[in-house]
Amino acid sequence: MSGNMIPQHNTKDGVMFPVVLTPNLKLTKTVELTEAIKANRSWLDSLLHRSGAVLFRGFSVSSASDFNDVVESSGYEDFSYGVGGAGSRTKVQPNPDVEHP
């Protein structure tokens, strides 16, 4: 994974927000985002702690199921859909590990 600047980046005191990670196009092997997240968890945690947000761009995530796999690979707890917030969210992909009413 490599970090690239995008026009929407903001920096404060030399810290980018969000940190944008893209696949390294020089690699001959396709990067599986779920495996890359698992293998680089401590490094990603430090980026997230320092910047506050990490944006993955250009990886092969083409369906709700793919996105769900990426979210689960992070190891972070999923946000509840029943707890307040400024915007409404619609559950697109059910989580098989959570009991649904």
Element (H, E) at 69: helix 64-73
The per-residue pLDDT for 37 is 94
pTM (predicted TM-score): 0.65
pLDDT value of position 101? 52
pLDDT value at residue 79: 64
3-state secondary structure of 54: strand
Residue with token string 């996105």: 67
Q: Which residues pair with 15 in a beta bridge?
A: 12
Residue ranges per domain, the chain?
Answer: 2-73
Q: Give the integer Cα–Cα distance in Å for 81 and 79.
A: 6
- Find the angle CA(62)-CA(67)-CA(73) to the nearest 5 degrees: 135
Residues 6+ apart with CB under 8 A from 52: 17, 18
Q: What is the pLDDT along the chain (101 residues), one digit of tens a residue?
A: 555 555 556 777 777 788 888 888 888 787 889 999 999 999 999 999 988 888 898 888 999 999 889 989 998 877 665 555 555 566 676 666 655 55
